[in-house]
Structure 1
Amino acid sequence: MMVPKITFYFDIGSPFSCIAFHVLTTSPVFSGCEIECVPVSLRGLFQLCQNTPPIAVKNKFQWINRERIYWARRFNVPMSEAIPEGFPASTADVQLVLCLVAREHPDMLVPMVQRLYREYWADGNSNALTEGLSVVLEQELGPQIAERILALAKNPDAKAALEENTQEAFGSGAFGLPWLHCAQGGQTGGFWGIDHFGRVADFLHLDRGLDGSFGVLL
């Protein structure tokens, strides 16, 4: 029997991507799935599909802020009620670094993403995505690997990796994040948003009953 696969497209700057990442990596519902985490540029994705950033839509920011707190509490995701200083942050550099980590040291990607989400969305440390990124890299990957990743990130060709990932997400139907491209038994489907994780579980024939938090999901 083929193992269900989820390709998870994310950006550290998206609070709902943070929640989705936590659920995918901790919920027993998804414990039998193959999950591939793919860093993309949310800004680049919006440009590709000509989508208006949510905070530019009147009244939507307030609604999004309430929703992120609700879903974080629902799934026991560590998240500060206060918005990180300077939000929305520029995540081009950190997403590029994560692309390189995924390519060069794929086994280190999930711990790195966990750390960055905790720093930014739980602790409100915006510096971890900018000037403090090198410190986080050294602590999570070790000095030698961190130095190599940062050196690779300065190469103009490295930017292509992030652009390719973003184009891949767009090509699979994404218009926002989190975006999940799911495959099961020859069938594929795309799903957007944490509130549609119930449909993801149904599509992949997973047992929602393994996690009580799924009771309110579509």
Structure 2
Amino acid sequence: MAPPKITFYVDIISPFGYIAYWMLRNSPVFANVEKTYVPVLLGGLHKQCGNVAPILIKNKDKWINKERDRWAQLYSIPIRQGTPPGFPTSTVSSGRALTSLSLEVDQEQLAKAADVFWAAMWCPQAEVLKGIKEGRNEHGEFDTKDPKTLETLLSAVLDGEIAKKVMGSIGEKQVKDLLVANTNGAFEKGAFGLPWFECTNKKGETEGFWGFDHLGHVVRFLELEEEGDKGRSGQVMRAML
């Protein structure tokens, strides 16, 4: 019987995408799930759906940051207070870098790159970034729009030649077209925002779920509460109900 699977769409601009990604990478609940990370552009997805970013909606812009912090505190997810300087910022370069990298390496290597990109945006003091001094400004922040900074981050977790090759290819048509195709594919699967989880259970049934606060539905659909650390999966379930 095939293992449960999650396709998770990545754009580091999304704070809820970050905390959802962190859970997939770190929670034992998802340890036996086959995970595929697909770079997309959230702005492009919103445009296709006619959706509006939460920070552009009056009152929701203030509430959404508090809500994010509540979930992060509940699960001890490391995240900065407030939003990054200049937020929202362009993630075209980081999206293209991850897209190019997806053509060169396996999913685990891709996830290592996503780890540092996410952290640079949402938790610059994260453990995964310790020791990386190059690319930081006087405030200890990373400019995730800057290709040189992205190459520095990639070189910290991957072979330097691969990092150089990837960043040298972000302007190529193949890479740009694939990122657009990934975004279109997410839309066609039903996504309208991030985080979006495209889940397939052991029975071969597939369903999409949106939002960090719907991880309980993901756990139930994939029948993860029946496996592994039942205490941890139960904790996820109770918190999401």
Letter in 1 for 2:223: H
**Partner Cα separation in structure 1 for residue 10 and residue 149 of structure 2:** 21
Secondary structure of 1:104's match? Answer: coil
Query: In the TM superposition, what is the alpha-carbon distance from 1:68 to its structure 2 partner?
Result: 1.1
Query: In the TM superposition, what is the alpha-carbon distance from 1:39 to its structure 2 partner?
Result: 1.0
Q: Which residue of 2 aligns with 1:210?
A: 232
Secondary structure of 1:111's match? Answer: helix
Alignment of 1:21-170 (within 5 A): 21-106=21-106, 107-123=108-124, 125-130=141-146, 131-170=148-187
**Partner Cα separation in structure 2 for residue 117 and residue 138 of structure 1:** 15
Secondary structure of 1:153's match? Answer: coil
Q: Which has the higher helix share?
A: 1
Higher alpha-carbon deviation: 139-148 or 180-189: 139-148
Query: In the TM superposition, what is the alpha-carbon distance from 1:146 to its structure 2 partner?
Result: 1.2
Query: In the TM superposition, what is the alpha-carbon distance from 1:126 to its structure 2 partner?
Result: 4.3
**Can you give the 5+ residue segments of structure 2 that lack an aligned partner in the other structure?**
125-139
**Partner Cα separation in structure 2 for residue 29 and residue 134 of structure 1:** 32
Query: In the TM superposition, what is the alpha-carbon distance from 1:213 to its structure 2 partner?
Result: 4.4
Preserved contact between residue 55 and residue 61 of structure 2 (Cα < 8 Å): yes
Provide Cα deviations, 1:18-49, integer angstroms capped at 9, x if missing partner: 10111111111111111111111000100111
Preserved contact between residue 16 and residue 68 of structure 1 (Cα < 8 Å): yes
Secondary structure of 1:127's match? Answer: coil
Cα RMSD, aligned residues only: 1.5
Matched, 1:200 2:201: no
TM-score by length of 2: 0.86
Secondary structure of 2:165's match? Answer: helix
**Partner Cα separation in structure 2 for residue 206 and residue 102 of structure 1:** 27
Query: In the TM superposition, what is the alpha-carbon distance from 1:84 to its structure 2 partner?
Result: 0.7
Preserved contact between residue 179 and residue 190 of structure 1 (Cα < 8 Å): yes
**Partner Cα separation in structure 2 for residue 213 and residue 73 of structure 1:** 13
Provide Cα deviations, 1:73-117, integer angstroms capped at 9, x if missing partner: 112111011311011111011011011112211231111111112
Query: In the TM superposition, what is the alpha-carbon distance from 1:156 to its structure 2 partner?
Result: 2.4
Higher alpha-carbon deviation: 167-176 or 147-156: 147-156
Calculate percent identity across the aligned residue pairs.
39
**Aligned length, in residue pairs:** 218
TM-score by length of 1: 0.94
Higher alpha-carbon deviation: 102-111 or 122-131: 122-131
Matched, 1:187 2:205: yes
**Partner Cα separation in structure 2 for residue 120 and residue 110 of structure 1:** 15
Secondary structure of 2:224's match? Answer: coil
**Partner Cα separation in structure 2 for residue 137 and residue 199 of structure 1:** 34
Q: Which residue of 2 aligns with 1:171?
A: 188
Runs of 4+ in 1 over 4 A off after TM superposition: none
**Can you give the 5+ residue segments of structure 1 that lack an aligned partner in the other structure?**
none
Query: In the TM superposition, what is the alpha-carbon distance from 1:210 to its structure 2 partner?
Result: 2.3
**Partner Cα separation in structure 2 for residue 78 and residue 171 of structure 1:** 32
Preserved contact between residue 198 and residue 207 of structure 2 (Cα < 8 Å): yes
